[in-house]
Amino acid sequence: MSFQATMTMAGKSSSICANCRNADAFATVRNRPLCQPCFLRYADNKCSSGMKQYRMLGDAAKTRKQHKHLLPLSFGASSSVLLHMINGQVEHQLAGPLRFTNYDVHVLVVDPSTISPSRPPCQKQFDLVRQHYPRHKYTMIPLHSIFEYDPNISETLRQIAGSGFGDDESKPYRERLEAFRASIPTTTSKDDIDNILLFRLIVAFARHHACETILWGDSDTRLAAKTLANVAKGRGASLTWQVRDGPTPWGLEFIFPLRELYRTELEQYAKLVPTVESIVIPDPPASEALSNRDLSIDELLNNYVLTQGVKYPGIMANVVRTVNKLQPAGFTSDQARCVLCTSPIEPDNHGADGAEAFDFDVRNAPTQFCYGCRRSAAGLSQAADT
């Protein structure tokens, strides 16, 4: 078994663990031989460091204020490991002298089978995760429940799909969303808009349940891929909240506690912890028959980061660290928002500006689009009107 450039299995002649010095190393992590307990502790400490602003220190310990976090769980290795680590922090706080935790965690599962037909049902994993980590609140909803949580989504679909698309409000939510998604012509637009709908649903759910923070399970590898993909799609301005810890335009904090851990490290962690391994749904195998032209921008950049990260893990990590140093612009309640992704847009980045780059006429549209969403909406409008 290979753990690529960031982690390699230690051979029989390998040295003693560099941390504890009293156990044989089972793997070399970032040029340091570690035994299994020290590797697990190393990863746990990375997550704990990512949550340092919510530790019970000083006034927070005295007032016993609870912070309400939403944790989206996809049953992938990263988000499953994050839940396990956060649960460990809760258990540690409850075992302390105060017998109190300032974490109020609500776990949200958007049923993967309602996002992609290739994903298997997850009811078994959902039951297991509630059994393994019973201290938290859990909710599982389908993607089409976005109609319930986001009151603007119906108007959004009508406005971006063009005059050739009809949204029949008498039909069930599932059929309405399927009809809209079926009208998306290209792989990149389909993947892009699916990601936006999922994101909008998670944010709307968090706001509906008065959560202060969303804890995303993105690894360093995933954040590097998101950085490159968002820049390629014309959404570079969103990196200050899509990749960086801190405030967002929706009044929520976004935190990425696993930002210092690589995907290979999280996959190995999941294999070492039976409760985590039991709830992880393996990613479907990539089809070797697909050419690059059949892949979305997100898939292309994700594959690129996975392959290049093997050779140059430090460079990929620096991409994420650089973005995390960016300072976000101030958000105002009256600032223009993109009708699709709902991100703030500058006054010169919507309406007629740049519309001549597309065949459909954004200049006469009653809504505003950011540059990236204009590209996706253009394809929808052309397909719907043909």
| 12 phi and psi angles, rounded to 5 deg | -65, -25
Alpha carbon distance 26, 85 (integer Å): 21
What is the structure's pLDDT at 227? 93
Higher pLDDT, 386 or 59: 59
> 158 lies in a domain?
yes
> 358 lies in a domain?
no
What is the structure's pLDDT at 296? 79
> 311 lies in a domain?
yes
What range does the domain containing 315 cover?
66-331
The total number of structural domains in the chain stands at 1
Band the pLDDT of 291: cuts 50, 70, 90. Answer: low
Q: Considering only 12-21, 53-62, 73-82, 375-384, which range has the smallest mean pLDDT?
A: 375-384
Q: Mean pLDDT: which of 12-21, 88-97, 193-202 is highest?
A: 193-202
Between the alpha carbon of residue 98 and those of residues 61, 62, 66, 83, 85, the distances in Å are 8, 9, 13, 23, 20
pLDDT tens string 92-143: 989 988 788 889 999 999 999 998 877 888 999 999 999 999 999 999 999 9
What is the structure's pLDDT at 380? 56
User: Given a cut of 50, is residue 259 above it in pLDDT?
Assistant: yes
User: Residue 307 is part of a domain; what is its CATH number?
Assistant: 3.40.50.620
pLDDT tens string 171-183: 899 999 988 888 7
> 75 lies in a domain?
yes
Specify the pTM: 0.87
Band the pLDDT of 234: cuts 50, 70, 90. Answer: confident
Alpha carbon distance 318, 305 (integer Å): 13
pLDDT tens string 292-325: 566 778 888 888 888 877 777 788 888 888 888 8
What is the structure's pLDDT at 9? 56
| 131 phi and psi angles, rounded to 5 deg | -75, -40
Other Cβ atoms less than 10 A from the Cβ of 237: the count is 21
> 107 lies in a domain?
yes
Strand order in the sheet with 213-215: 137-141, 103-110, 67-72, 213-215, 253-255, 246-247
> 100 lies in a domain?
yes
Band the pLDDT of 334: cuts 50, 70, 90. Answer: confident
Which residue, 129, 75, 73, is CA-closest to 280? Answer: 75
User: Given a cut of 50, is residue 5 above it in pLDDT?
Assistant: no
What is the structure's pLDDT at 352? 37
What is the structure's pLDDT at 373? 85
What is the structure's pLDDT at 14? 60
Alpha carbon distance 305, 319 (integer Å): 11
pLDDT mean across residues, the chain: 82
Alpha carbon distance 111, 364 (integer Å): 37
Secondary structure (H, E, C), the chain: CCECCCEEECCCCCCECCCCCCCECCEEECCEEECHHHHHHHHHHHHHHHCHHHCCCCHHHHHCCCEEEEEECCCCHHHHHHHHHHHHHHHHHHCCCCCCCCEEEEEEEECHHHCCCCCCCCHHHHHHHHHHCCCCEEEEECHHHHHHHCCCHHHHHHHHHCCCCCCCCCCCHHHHHHHHHHCCCCHHHHHHHHHHHHHHHHHHHHHHCCCCEEECCCCHHHHHHHHHHHHHCCCHHHHHHHCCCEECCCCCEEECCCCCCCHHHHHHHHHHCHHHHHHCCCCCCCCCCCCHHHCCHHHHHHHHHHHHHHHCHHHHHHHHHHHHCCCCCCCCCCCCECCCCCCECCHHHCCCCCHHHCCCCHHHCCCCCCHHHHHHHHHHHHHHHC
User: Given a cut of 60, is residue 269 above it in pLDDT?
Assistant: yes
* All residues at 6 or more sequence positions from 314 whose CB lies less than 8 Å from its CB, including other chains: none
> 284 lies in a domain?
yes
Band the pLDDT of 351: cuts 50, 70, 90. Answer: very low
Band the pLDDT of 378: cuts 50, 70, 90. Answer: low
- Contact call for residues 71 and 53 (beta carbons, < 8 A): no
What is the structure's pLDDT at 275? 97
Q: Are strands 253-255 and 32-34 parallel, antiparallel or unpaired?
A: unpaired
- Tokens linked to 8: 């390699």
What is the structure's pLDDT at 260? 93
> 371 lies in a domain?
no
Range 4-7, long-range pairs (CB < 8 A, 24+ positions): 4/264, 4/309, 4/310, 5/309, 5/310, 5/311, 5/312, 5/313, 6/30, 6/262, 6/264, 6/265, 6/309, 6/313, 7/262, 7/264, 7/265, 7/268
Alpha carbon distance 185, 289 (integer Å): 20
